[in-house]
Structure formats: C-alpha cells, structure tokens
Amino acid sequence: MAHKQFVIEGLGLCKSYGGKEVLRAENVAVSNGRITGIMGPSGAGKSTLLRIMSLLEAPSGGELSLFGSLVPVNKAEKQALLRRMTIVFQKPVLFDTTVFDNIAFGLRARRLPAGEIRTRVTASLKKIGLSGQGNQKARTLSGGEAQRVALARALVIEPEILFLDEPTSNLDPANVELLEGLLHDLNRERGTTIVMVTHNLFQARRLADDLLFLCQGELVEAGPAERVFQEPADMRTKAFVEGRMIY
C-alpha cells in the first residue's frame, strides 16, 4: 500500500474511548517533504489523529503505514521508526536543567561525540535567537523562549517527520512569527516533512501545502491547501474556512 511520495498512509483509521468513537478517517496520506496542516474545530479529533500518526497511541482499527512499513511492527522496528520522527506539543515540555542540556538531550541519547554536540547545539541556539543563553535554566525562560527551545531540541536530531500540536497557540505574535519562520525554513531547506495541528486558519494559510480537515471526529476533506481554501468540497469545511463555524 506504500507509495514513495507518501511518508504516512492511513486506511480506515478509527479511535474509540470507552465505546465512544472520536475519530474516523477513511483515507489519510501525508506527502514527503511537504507541510500538512490538520485543521478543524476544538474536539474534532486533531490531536488524536496526530498521536496515532506519531505512534504515541494505537488506533482502535484500520491500517497505518510509516515510511512504507505497516504498523504495528516489533519493538526494535518501532524504535527505529520513532528515531526518524519527533513531536512538539502546545505546552513546551522541558527538563529542569539548562537550555543547552535540553537541546543536547536527543544527541546524547544517540551517543554523538561531545564536540559534535556542542557544534550542533550552538548553531541551534543561534537559529532560535538564544545565543549566549545556553547556560540559563530552562525554567526561567519566557513562554516563547521555552517553545523555541522545545523546537530546537526536536530539530537538532534532524527528524524526517516533525509533528506539532498547536505549537503557537500560547505565544505572542512575535514568537509566532519566529516559530513559523523556523518551520518554513526547515521544510524548504532540509525538506523535513511537517505535520501540524492548528485551529488557526491564518496559520494554515501561511504554512500548509496540504490540509486535512476534521469535524466531529470525521475526516471530511483532504487536499492541497489552495484548493481546500478556494473550493472546499464539503459544506463543513466551507463554513470553517469562511469563519462561519465556531471554534
């Protein structure tokens, strides 16, 4: 079922909690090297779909393929898949240590030489505008700075797929712009596949190449962002992109 251009493919994916179905997606495909936005009102199942695609949670039914491998795979294969991707959440989850150590975490886990780690972390601090703040305690950072560190920690391991769940919803406009710029560059310069949940239409317009639109647990529309915005096929998508649906 795998096609080279799709790094993620889902067929008939569904998820239930305590007998209540919260997600049903007949056909999901994420293209290699593109930015896919997952959009929809609150409670639509966006985070659930993201957790399934990033292997944080198993679907209740359906088939999921990552990089052409059908999941579930054995433990070693799952570990290998997990090493090729990473996730950033709405609230930055940082360790109570320095900014440097937070960013270096994944590199140390991969046993890279100390010199290489220093080079990569220093470059990454510069990229997120925190040069010279490597020794600062992470818990003393502002919200925007903390999210930039969370992103840097994800990027420094050079994932093939970066998942993000509403990464900018708690940030001020300047930090939103900075983060969006980092994501855009990452995608265009490194070709990293990005899958980002957002309920922000404007953000989706600015960043997404492709869109998945969820409504009440159902995947109701998928396609190139431009087409979805200009000619939504589903009435619910149309209501959402025209701002007539409350979210």
| Contact residues: Mg ion, CB under 5 A | 46-47
Judged by CB under 6 A, does residue 198 bind ligand ADP?
no
Helix ranges, the chain (H) = 46-53, 75-82, 99-109, 114-127, 143-155, 173-185, 201-207, 225-230, 235-241
Residues near ligand ADP (CB under 6 A), total: 10
Compute how many other C-beta atoms are within 10 angstroms of the C-beta atom of residue 72.
12
User: What's the min distance (Å) between Cβ of 100 and Mg ion?
Assistant: 31
Residues 75-114 that bind ligand ADP (CB under 6 A): none
Amino acid identity of residue 31, one-letter, is: S
Binding mask 47-76 for ligand ADP (x = CB under 6 A): xx----------------------------
Distance CA 121, CA 114 (A): 10
| Segment 10 to 49, residues that bind ligand ADP, using CB under 6 A | 17, 22, 40, 42-48
Nearest Cα to Cα of residue 153 among 63, 216, 86: 86
Nearest to ligand ADP of 17, 95 (CB atom): 17
Separation CA 50–CA 19 (nearest Å) = 20
> In whole angstroms, how close is the CB of 40 to ligand ADP at the nearest point?
6
Least separation, in Å, of the C-beta of 53 and ligand ADP? Answer: 12
Residue of 46, 133, 50, 146 lying closest to 96 (CA atoms) = 146
Instruction: Say whether residue 167 binds ligand ADP (CB under 6 A).
Output: no
List interacting residues with ligand ADP (CB under 6 A). Answer: 17, 22, 40, 42-48
